[in-house]
Amino acid sequence: MQQKIAQIALVVNDYDEAINFYTQKLGFELIEDTVMSETKRWVVVAPKGNGGCSLLLAKAVGELQESRVGNQTGGRVFLFLYTDDFMRDYTQMTAKGIKFVRGPVTEPYGMVGVFEDLYGNLWDFIQPSGS
């Protein structure tokens, strides 16, 4: 048997602002944007060259979901983005206004920094050792 995680739902306030952030600031590709109803869209983004997991941008509906936007994990790092050139991408990201809240630092496993997405979710940005 073979399994993999294909998508992770990320609760957002607005589809278009989230698409703009992930495609324009992080350089992700818009994989799909399908209207499902007057209020719901199926929006998928992924890092360029990604052969693995993608993000399903899910617009928050109702008070409970809206309360989770930007804090789906209680303040812990939520997602992990790997790169083959930390300083190249770090420089581009900071120039585009991405806020790094920790790092960059060199750890035994590689170069790492922590950044916030447009809603405040924390991401580890990592260039693994040996890359």
Other beta carbons within 10 Å of 108: 5
pLDDT at 130: 82
pLDDT at 119: 96
Looking from the CA of 59 toward its CB, the CA atoms found within 13 Å total 16
CA distances from 66 to 18, 41, 51, 83 (A): 14, 17, 30, 31
pLDDT at 23: 97
Convert the pLDDT of each residue in 42-67 to its tens digit: 999 999 987 789 999 999 999 999 99
Structural domains in the chain?
1-69 (3.10.180.10), 70-131 (3.10.180.10)
- The parts of the chain modelled with pLDDT lower than 50 are none
pLDDT at 49: 82
pLDDT at 105: 96
